[in-house]
Amino acid sequence: MMSSNYTAIDNQNVSGSVPAVADPPGQVAVKFTESNLQTFPPSSSQGKISAASGPPRDADDTFSKPVSGSDEPQHGGWFRAFTIAAYKPYFDVDTSDVLERIKDSLLPFTGSFSEKTADNPDLYGPFWICSTLVFVAASIGTFITYIAHKLHNKEWNYDINLVTWSAGLFYGYSTIVPLCLFVVLKYFSAPSGLVQLLCLYGYSLFVFIPALCLSLVPWEIVRWVVAGVAGFMSATFVATNLKHHIASAGERWFFIVAAIFLLQLALALVLRVYLFNVTV
């Protein structure tokens, strides 16, 4: 009996009853897809991030700008020369690269150093070569004079000027001479890169490190021979690597190469007189 009554109710359209599944025509249903709760922040586009709802930007916009090869802000003109980012590429070398270039500097007759470093000249090697020369020259020069004074039973005093003089000589020579050569080559219409010249001259000084160590030998003739050989190797290394490039300067290229060669020999002579010499 109860089952028949429930059946009769299901088959009738009773006023005020709750619809079972489908919504009758004309009745409004709540659609959450039209609500602003679907997207955050609200926007007219559905399922996409519009320009008005992009991710938060940095306050100084540093990381939002595409910068090639560096995460530093870009500067134009001469201001770039006073930023660290301007010099980063010239210190981006491996130990194997530096050792290979040092080996080339000890083989002065090949003349292939400029070609190998044309695309990637560095200042890392020249900086540490000059720093090592300052340390070796000051320490060995001090040691030699100390031993000489003790052998002659004389009072010895440390000379701080040896450090400052060595620093001025090596840093100054490896900077001023390439800069002057850069101007001269540009004047003769055979311009060369300034960094490449700094790199070449910096590595040309490496041969003086073992030469300074050999100055500990107490015989003057050996010191003269060591200074002469080191100066000849350094001068030949620079001259052979610049000869083909300077040849495009015209008939005066020979005089420029000769001046470069003699200037390196003059450096060796100064080192022999001042650092290789023992005064008591």
Per residue, what are the HEC states of 245-276? HHHHHCCCHHHHHHHHHHHHHHHHHHHHHHCC
27 is a domain residue: no
Least Cα distance to 215 among 116, 152, 148, 264 occurs for: 148
> Is-contact 136 216, C-beta < 8 A?
no
> Is-contact 234 209, C-beta < 8 A?
no
Q: What is the pLDDT of residue 102?
A: 94
Count of the separate structural domains present in the chain: 1
23 is a domain residue: no
217 is a domain residue: yes
Tens digit of pLDDT per residue, the chain (280 long)?
444 444 444 444 545 555 555 555 555 555 544 444 444 444 444 444 444 444 444 333 433 344 444 454 555 566 666 677 777 877 888 899 999 999 999 998 888 898 888 888 999 999 999 999 999 988 888 887 888 777 777 777 777 778 888 899 999 999 999 999 999 888 887 788 899 999 999 999 999 999 988 888 878 888 899 999 999 999 999 999 988 788 776 677 888 889 999 999 999 998 888 766 655 5
Measured between its terminal Cα atoms, the distance across the chain in Å is: 135
53 is a domain residue: no
69 is a domain residue: no
111 is a domain residue: yes
41 is a domain residue: no
Angstrom CA distances, 181 to 43, 110, 116, 246, 254, stand at 64, 22, 20, 11, 14
Parent domain of 195 = 80-278
Q: What is the DSSP string of 62-77?
A: TTTS--SS-SSPP--G
> What single-letter amino acid sits at 257?
V
Q: What is the pLDDT of residue 81?
A: 65
> Is-contact 137 162, C-beta < 8 A?
yes
226: which 2 tokens?
A: 């060591």
Q: What is the pLDDT of residue 251?
A: 72
Angstrom CA distances, 217 to 140, 149, 220, 222, 223, stand at 11, 16, 8, 7, 7
pTM, 2 dp: 0.68
47 is a domain residue: no
